[in-house]
A and B are shown apart, each in its own frame.
Chain A
Amino acid sequence: MEALIAIAIGTLTAVGIYLMLRLRTFPVILGLTFLSYAVNIFIFVSGRLAVNAAPIIGVTEAYADPLPQALVLTAIVISFGMTAVIMIMAIGGYLEAGHDKVNMDDDTTGEDGPEART
């Protein structure tokens, strides 16, 4: 099971990094999501893998570490919220700029436009 999970984390990370380096916002956001999945599984297994073990002492013979489960819940909520924020920003940027390229063009163009001063 360790090997399976390690391969899963590695694959998710690789996919995430590949997509993150793309030029358009949508693949970048997908990449960030994949990366956060990889991170979440990684946090979950930091308390060691255990089968048939409840995170409560005394219910089953062995018990699982409950803290990583609490940490991963926090991490899931936060990464979910952050993905929502960047999604809204990406839509806003697309509507205002008319394209969804991630990179900024030449640094001085537009800086005498109204948005530089307002």
Chain B
Amino acid sequence: MSHWIIAPVVLPAMIAGLMVIAMRGDLLLQRVAGVVGVVALNAIAVGLLWSATVHGPQAYFLGDWPAPFGIVLMLDRLSALMVALLAVLALVVVLYAIGSGWDRKGAHLHPLLQFLLMGIGGAFLTGDAFNLFVFFEVLLIASYGLMIHAGGDRRTRAGIQYIAFNLVGSSLFLLALALIYAVTGTLNMADLAAKLPTLPEGDTALLRAAAVMLILVFAIKGALVPLQFWLPGTYANAPGVVAAMFAVMTKIGAYAVIRFGTLVFPPDLPATGPLLSDLILPAGLVTLALGAVGVLGATTLPRLAAFGGIASMGTAFIAISAFTPQTTTAALYYILHSTLATAAMFLVADLVTRRRAHARLTEIAPPIAQSGLIASLYLIAAVAMAGMPPLSGFIGKLLVLDAFRDQAPLIWSVVLVSSFLMILGFARAGSTLFWKPSALDAQPDEAAPEGLAFTATFGLVAGLALLTILAGPITDWLTATAQMLDAPTAYIQANRLGQGG
């Protein structure tokens, strides 16, 4: 039993605690500790990826209590991949927070980021449904603090809406878990997967209700229509660097749907059948369409990025909804791409809004400092988000389209038309932001060079480029991952159910 599996949870927790207790008020020390923490997290994530690839699914029994009585953490290819994605994004965000000076504008940005990493890492790694709820709450309470970082009237009030919405989500989650426990007597995911196929006929209605409630909870997290309306207000009002970090939070919803849809409620389970696909596919299509229209109609650049994020979740959920190895491969590739692309868009939006005279896209403002550099970053991020060649968004959408050849008339038209709308929206915003100001006779203000912030943003671009160049090996690896998700025998056996540890 490798103890490294719990490291992505323990390491950020220790660093955050140290920051709060020993480095209170010392920003330099906090910055050093934050960078060291995320670099170490990256190293651990690489190790876990290697371990999951070579050794297959592994369980970590907390306190050495045997499953299903104790809580297990499960490392498999999917969770290792998500932890690695989280680690990469965290490195970029911490560097950007330091470079842009966001961490100076309010207390405790670095410790809260570490607590967020702890919650998200735990949510990706846990193999117990109730433990998943607990890690959701850990990451949410850190995100509440991050959301209102640096304060302000609008930000605080948007934060209240965000919290209220997520409290309702948590209540639904608990209801669903209680129903599942009442029906099956277990909350260990592998144990559920083993027990649900033999569920008595009379309990299927309760289980279906629980499954739908779980999907609703994950739809709130993943911003799936009709539960997406918290996202634009939250992300557009959050500090730019926090919004970039939140790009991975919607993916937790996607991850949880993939995990539950392949392991606990697979399409061949008699009690639920194709229930999940039937709910998620139409919701994903509407989400994508709504996101694209939102991009076209957004009034500020952060809202534009937020709607772009909603559209990308729509595409991801369309791909997730079929639960076959081919579609899951496409979904995973698109999730990797869209996390990096959405984060890049939020960082560019932050670079722009901090320099521009006002945030509105409906009016021209005087040119901003470093306009050329930011404009090229915006172009790259927009190309990635809209899914145009040559970047990975194109490959991602191609994989999704290819996986849905049999439903081409509906899905292809929604994906392609919404891509077109997004290209229009991004192009219009870009011309208002970067071209039209040059007609005004004004000189940009001098701005701090912010070398580290630009480096961090270019880091995301480099990540997108790597995803594009290495698309072949990555999709091969993802295909193997999707096949293991489709046949989760090894995952269930790793829990050693009923063998007393």
Contacts and interface: CB of A to CB of B under 8 A. Distances in A.
Interface of A: 20, 25, 28-29, 32, 35-36, 38-39, 42-43, 46-48, 67-68, 71, 74-75, 78-79, 81-83, 85-86, 89-90, 92-93, 96-97, 102, 104, 107-108, 110-118
Contacts of B163: 82, 85-86, 89
Contact of B300 (A36, A42, A108): A108
B14 to A, nearest CB: 21
B152 interface: yes
A110 B155 CA distance: 11
A112 B359 contact: yes
A89 B144 contact: yes
B371 interface: no
B7 interface: no
Contacts of B140: 82
Contacts of A117: 353-354, 356, 359
A83 B168 CA distance: 12
Interface residues of B, number: 45
Contact of A89 (B148, B152, B170): B148
28 contacts: A28-B164, A36-B167, A36-B171, A39-B174, A42-B174, A43-B177, A46-B181, A68-B181, A71-B130, A81-B141, A82-B141, A82-B163, A82-B170, A83-B167, A85-B163, A89-B159, A93-B156, A96-B151, A97-B157, A102-B160, A104-B157, A107-B299, A111-B359, A111-B360, A115-B150, A115-B151, A116-B359, A118-B105
B154 A82 contact: no
A35 B160 contact: no
B153 interface: yes
Given A90-B160, A118-B150, A42 B178 contact: yes
Contacts, number: 133
Nearest to B356: A117
A107 B303 contact: yes
B170 A97 contact: no
Contacts of B160: 25, 86, 89-90, 93, 102
A35 B172 CA distance: 10
B22 to A, nearest CB: 24
Nearest to B180: A46
B137 interface: yes
Nearest to A71: B130
Contacts of A113: 154
B184 to A, nearest CB: 11
Given A81-B141, A104-B233, A39 B171 contact: yes
Central interface residue in B137, B151, B171, B303, by most chain A CB within 10 Å = B171
Contact of A35 (B105, B141, B168): B168
A66 to B, nearest CB: 11
Contacts of B354: 117
B153 A78 contact: no
A43 B157 contact: no
A20 B178 contact: no
A47 B171 contact: no
Contacts of A42: 174-175, 178
Contact of A32 (B141, B151, B164): B164
A34 B126 CA distance: 29
A115 B154 CA distance: 8
Contacts of B452: none
A43 B174 contact: yes
Nearest to B365: A112
Closest 7 pairs between A and B when the two form their complex, measured CB to CB: A115-B152, A112-B358, A46-B182, A46-B178, A43-B178, A96-B153, A93-B156
Contacts of B299: 107-108, 111
A38 B174 CA distance: 11
Contacts of B151: 92, 96, 115
Interface in B64-106: 105
Nearest to B157: A93
Contacts of B170: 78-79, 82
Interface string B173-209: 0110111011000000000000000000000000000
A104 B154 contact: yes
B141 A110 contact: no
Contact of B181 (A71, A78, A86): A71
Contacts of A112: 357-360
Interface in B299-348: 299-300, 303
Nearest to B152: A115
B212 interface: no
Contacts of A104: 154, 157-158, 161, 233
